Structures are given as C-alpha cells and as structure tokens.
Structure 1
Amino acid sequence: MIITVDACHVIDSYWTRFVEKIDVGVHEMTMEDEEDDFMLSRNYFLAKEIGSSSRKKSSQKHVVDINHVDKQVLRKEVFDIPVKHENEIQHLIKSYRNLYPKWHFELRCGFGLLMYGFGSKKALLEDFASTSLTDFGVVVINGYLPSNNLKQALITLAEVLSDQLKHERKSSTRSKSNTEHTFSSLSIEDLLSFLNVQLPQDNNCFVCVIIHNIDGPSLRDPDSQQYLAQLASCSRVRMVASIDHVNAPLLWDKKMVHTQFKWSWHHVPTFAPYKAEGNFFPLILANYGNAQTTKTALVVLQSLTPNAQSMPNSTLYTKCRARFLVSNQVTLNSHLTEFKDHELVKARRHSDGQDCFYIPLPSEALSKLLQELA
C-alpha cells in the first residue's frame, strides 16, 4: 500500500491529538486518585483520633461509677429465680438415694466419701446423714462460711464420741459439763489422739464429720487441710465432704489422698442452686456501700508487696526511707502508682503548691480496714 506524504501528515496529526487526549485523561485520573488517597488517609487518621479519644473516655470509667442495685433487692431476685426441670432433678436425686447403702458400706470400710459435680450438695449430704447414718454420731462443718474454728469442731467430735462410749458402757462417770471443760482444755493434737483411740474390732462407736465445701475459703490454707487429713485418718472418725472448686484436688498431696483421707470419689451433680453457699459471697452488681469499698481495699492491699503494704500515709518518703522500705523517690512513686491505679490513694494540689496524697475512704471504712489488716 502506497501512502503519500500528505496522508502520512494527516495520520501523524491524528495520532498526536489522540496521544494528547490520553495524557489529559491520565492526568485527570491521577488527580482524582490522589484526591481519593488523600481523603482515605484523612478519614483513616480521623477515625484513629476519634477511636483513641473514645477509648480514653471509656478508660476513665470505673465500676464504682455504675448505679448498683441494693444488695437485699438483688439477692432476693436471685433467690426468686424459678427452678427448672424439677421432675428431672427429683429423678436424679432419687437415683442417688439408691446409692446410700453403698456409701454407708464404704464408710464402714474406712473410706472417706468425696462428692463433686455441679450444683449444691448440701441437701443431699444432710439427707444421707439423716437417713443412713443414724448409727453414727454426726457433726457438720460448713466450709463455705467466711471463718471456721477447727478446734471447736474437734472438741464437738470428741464430746460426741465420748457420749457414745459412755452410752455403750452404760456408765455416767463424767457429767456433760465436766466433759466439755476437759475437752476444751486439750490441744488439737490431744483431741486427735482421743479420736484415734484404739478399741476392740467389734466396737461400732464412730463419729462422722460432714464437711460442706472442704475447699471453702476458710479451709483452703495448708494448716487446716493438714488437720483435716489427720482427722480423717483417726480410727474412730469417718468423713464425708463435698467440693466445688475446679482446683480443689490441688489442696492435697498423694499421701493425704490415699493414706489419710482415703477418698472414694462420687460424681453427684444435683443442679441445685448454691443458696446457702453463695450467701456469703458478694454480688458484683450489688451496692454494698462502705463494706464493699473496704473489701476492695483489703484485697488490693493484700495483693501488694510487703513494702508497699507497710507505707505510712504521712511524710512518705522520709519515713519509708528511714524504715528501708524504699531507697529512692522512683521506688516510692512506683508503689504509689499501684495505689492510685486502684483509687486507694488520690493526689491533690495543696495551697503551698505541693502535691498531697489522701485516701478517698470514709472514716468507717478506714476503721474496718485497719481491723481487718490487724
């Protein structure tokens, strides 16, 4: 194909204009993309700024700022929750009652019964005691209580065993008041020795101790568990206990489990509400006033290091350094940070320009806190 010079000129001009249009379009598209990128970046940083400010505001909110429900009202509502699946639960409890003879036989053989599973087992154990342990003297220890007196429980067990022995011998050499006085004067070791008295094999004098929540807060310490293990190993004592904490088995070593407690484990979920056991635990959404503030302060103080717990609230640095609690201001500030984070200590500017620390607790709460710490 032969193209003349004029035709080539026309084609070249057309191509030039086409390329120019493309360049203009690309330039316009580039400007639009840059604007889109700018808006996208701007929106991103705006969102980050708004998010950080909202998080800052939310971080300044505390549980104490919530309008809590009155304790009595909330607890009443909890107790009034209707029980579901009553027929199924009754059928389950009936199946456990069929196991009472087996449990009684295991106790007679020297084993301890350990009940575990979801739901309160208080009513179940007490029903077992009232129907199948009539030939035992029975003493109940409520481990879910905030405090327990193990020595008093041992005294009661010793009194019950003593009464059984006297009844069997048809003897009344000691009056009850004299017996109480005698056992009250004994040490825990002497009481355990009495409960471990060796009698003829045909003697059926036993006392049974039922412990609701042997893993309860007042019984979790090593000393209490050691005394309970020694009690379970006494020849004239049989033990029935319940646990609910998932880590309860960690309370005992191999010797305690197999030699002293000699547990026979029974999975007995009752799905019953923990009404009695939960009555001594604070409800999170309830308003306890000063009592809850004192409890919170006590938990925080007990979780701190010994040096942080021992700081006085006046002339902090001088006294703390004199008592070798801190060696410099930085260490003191780090301790104070722990208190300020939990709002146990707050700072305010004094008239002379210095920062002064104060405890934002009422005098009643402070008095109760000092009693608890003592």
Structure 2
Amino acid sequence: MEINDGDEDEFGFSRNYFLAKDMAASGKKSTHKLSDINLVDEQELRAEASNAEPKHEKEIESLMESYKSLYSKWVFELRCGFGLLMYGFGSKKALIEDFASTALTEYSVVVINGYLQSINIKQVLITLAELLWDQLKSKRRTPSRNLSKAQQAFNTRSMDDLLAFLDGSQVEENDGVVCVVIHNIDGPGLRDSETQQYLAQIASCSHIRIVASIDHVNAPLLWDKKMVHTQFNWCWYHVPTFAPYKVEGMFFPLILAHGGSAQSAKTAAIVLQSLTPNAQSMPIDNLYTVSRERFLVSSQVTLNSHLTEFKDHDLVKTRRHSDGQDCLYIPLASEALEKLFLNYD
C-alpha cells in the first residue's frame, strides 16, 4: 500500500502522541504536596513587601504626568453625561483621586472604596441625596415646595424614592451634580448582581456622574449591554499606572503567606459568623442525635452540608479511630482556639 507524505506526517504525529502518553503513565508521580510549601508569616511578608525598593520611578512619574493632559477631556465627557471607566495594570486610586481633587472642584464628590469587603449601598444613596439637597439649597434661597417635600428624612425613604430624587424632574440639570468615585467597582463589596444593578441605576440619574476603576479580568461580565451603553454609558480609558496595590491589598490575604494562629482564628470567626445560628451551635459528641434533639438540624443531609462547610475551611477534619469509626476533630492550635473564643464571644 502506498503512503503519501501527508499520511506519513499524520502517522508520525499519532505515534508520538501515544508514545508520550505511555511515558507519562509509566513515570513516577510526584510525592510533593501543596502543604509541604514553607509559607512565611503574613505580617513578615507584608513588611518585606513594603520595604521593597520601587523601580522605574522616573518613567512612572512621567506616565502619570501624561495622564493629566486628559483631565479636561474627562471633565467634558462627564458633563456630557458619560461615565469614566479606568482600567490597566497597577492601582488607579492615586490617579483618580488626583483627577477628582484638581479637576472636579466645582462638584460634590463621594468616594466609594469597592475593595472593602462590605458596602451599604442604601447609605451611599442617602449620602448622594443629602449632598444634592445641600447643593440645591445653596443655589436657591427659597426652595420650591416640591424640593422641601423631597428633603424630608432621606434615611427613612426607600431605594426607589432616593433614586427618583436623584433623577427628579423637579430639579433643573444645571442646579446640581454629584460625582461618584468608585475605586474597584468590581471589588468584593460591589460584585453581586443586585448591587451592580443599583449602581447602574445611580449612574443613569441625571444629577450623578460616575468615575470608576476595574482590575479584575472578568469585570466587564458584570454588566449587560443596557448597563454598559445606556446606564453607565462608559468611556473606557486604558491607564496603566504600574503602581502597587498597597491600600487595596491590605484587605486580602497574601497568596504565599501563612496566617499562623491569629489568622486561623480570624478565618474561623469569619466562617462561623457567616453560618446560621443553628450551625454555629453544633456540638461534637453524638453529633447527629444531639443536634436533632436540639432542633439544630432536621436531617442527616443538613448536618452533612454544615460539616462540608467546616471541612472546606479547615475548621473540622476527620480521622479514623482505632475502632474503625471516622471521628471529627478541630485542627486549630490551642492558641487559635483561645483567640477564637475571645473574639467570637
């Protein structure tokens, strides 16, 4: 049978593929484990990171100066109703705050730190409404009847009422504008769908302008077409700063850091506080029987789900007893347990 060049190439590729698979299967597997990595203490790692000498300072300073030439353009686009979205490698916190402090002096500015773990979105709305009201009151010595009614107790109003005031037709557009600076609009405190929907509604209000930054590679997936083009109305700007995430990084554990007993206790407390009161009160002895008698769980499935939560966060582990039964134990050191009880009580 005659074999052409193309068949020979395909045959050779197939043969090499299966040879490689056989060699990989016959090779010895590594005995190394992730737990074998010698991790440093988090505080020690942060101290070393803070003492690291910065590089390319002149080049970075020149880069930051070049962005200042865009300030007037950014202000113009905000006045036209667009939102500014900054992306690129490096912290953009200093850049955005410099822009706000030097180019947005005629507006009231509210700063939201999206890198924090939790943010009260209703409190943000109340603050925006109060700032807008202060602007209107200063520009109008005798506020209209509608405005006087709108000012009544913002903290008791619903989210829809607050949004209606920020976008109210009773207020002329030139009477007041509040700029909202959002560091890390893709941060953990703002990343859920409901919060993003509220932020989009805020951005679409006629008296609100948004300046925000993103750092997560999948941040654009937070929004649909309506949110991007109609509500946020983003103007995208690639502004890499190469600045370290010093402030933003304070609220996240370092990858190669070992938390130690203090960090373990802190992690345990966070997990316990996130559970339901029944799950927090679970005893160890005669676990399922006692838990059911105390109405902590109604079935073995519910108990197993709680235990899975504990195991996933290394709060509980299992080991085989001499009689062959699996027993639960807490892998935290005594120091961590003491700190946990003190903090949790």
TM-score by length of 2: 0.74
Structure 1 residue 113 corresponds to structure 2 residue 84:
yes
1:332, 1:182 → 2: CA distance? 47
Identity within the alignment, %: 57
The aligned residue for residue 347 of structure 1 is 319
Aligned 8 A contact 1:294 1:368 in 2: no
Structure 1 residue 315 corresponds to structure 2 residue 289:
no
The aligned residue for residue 93 of structure 2 is 122
Aligned 8 A contact 2:318 2:326 in 1: no
Structure 1 residue 66 corresponds to structure 2 residue 35:
no
Aligned 8 A contact 1:346 1:360 in 2: no
- 1:285, CA displacement in angstroms? 3.3
Secondary structure at the residue paired with 1:219?
coil
Q: Extract unaligned runs of 5+ from structure 2.
A: 1-25, 145-149, 274-278
Structure 1 residue 156 corresponds to structure 2 residue 127:
yes
2:313, 2:110 → 1: CA distance? 46
After superposition, the C-alpha distances for 1:22-81 in whole angstroms (9 at most, x for unaligned) are xxxxxxxxxxxxxxxxxxxxxxxxx97xx56x72xx34x726x7362351x321221222
- 1:137, CA displacement in angstroms? 0.7
**Residues 339-348 or 260-269, more deviating:** 339-348
2:271, 2:155 → 1: CA distance? 37
1:340, 1:167 → 2: CA distance? 55
- 1:312, CA displacement in angstroms? 6.5
Aligned 8 A contact 2:83 2:209 in 1: yes
The aligned residue for residue 147 of structure 1 is 118
The aligned residue for residue 234 of structure 2 is 263
User: What letter matches 2:45 in structure 1?
Assistant: L
Structure 1 residue 89 corresponds to structure 2 residue 63:
no
Secondary structure at the residue paired with 2:77?
helix
1:233, 1:340 → 2: CA distance? 41
2:223, 2:247 → 1: CA distance? 25
Aligned length: 307
1:112, 1:337 → 2: CA distance? 40
The aligned residue for residue 283 of structure 1 is 254
1:76, 1:289 → 2: CA distance? 16
Aligned 8 A contact 2:91 2:244 in 1: yes
User: What letter matches 2:229 in structure 1?
Assistant: H
Structure 1 residue 98 corresponds to structure 2 residue 72:
no
Structure 1 residue 242 corresponds to structure 2 residue 219:
no
- 1:197, CA displacement in angstroms? 1.5
Secondary structure at the residue paired with 2:176?
coil
1:291, 1:193 → 2: CA distance? 46
- 1:195, CA displacement in angstroms? 0.8
1:216, 1:62 → 2: CA distance? 29
1:168, 1:337 → 2: CA distance? 56
After superposition, the C-alpha distances for 1:234-265 in whole angstroms (9 at most, x for unaligned) are 11000000000000000011111111111111
Aligned 8 A contact 1:320 1:326 in 2: no
User: What letter matches 2:206 in structure 1?
Assistant: S
TM-score by length of 1: 0.69
The aligned residue for residue 20 of structure 1 is none
Structure 1 residue 363 corresponds to structure 2 residue 334:
no
- 1:133, CA displacement in angstroms? 0.7
CA distance 1:193–1:325, change in 2 (3 Å):
same
1:77 to 35, 40, 48: 48
- 1:348, CA displacement in angstroms? 5.6
CA distance 1:368–1:285, change in 2 (3 Å):
farther
CA distance 1:326–1:202, change in 2 (3 Å):
closer
- 1:345, CA displacement in angstroms? 1.3
The aligned residue for residue 196 of structure 1 is 167
CA distance 1:355–1:267, change in 2 (3 Å):
closer
CA distance 1:171–1:83, change in 2 (3 Å):
farther
CA distance 1:169–1:317, change in 2 (3 Å):
closer
Aligned 8 A contact 1:146 1:217 in 2: yes
CA distance 1:142–1:368, change in 2 (3 Å):
farther
Structure 1 residue 166 corresponds to structure 2 residue 137:
yes
Secondary structure at the residue paired with 1:159?
helix
CA distance 1:88–1:171, change in 2 (3 Å):
farther
- 1:169, CA displacement in angstroms? 0.8
The aligned residue for residue 138 of structure 1 is 109
Name the structure with the higher helix share: 1
- The structure with more radius of gyration: 1
1:199, 1:268 → 2: CA distance? 38
Secondary structure at the residue paired with 1:217?
coil
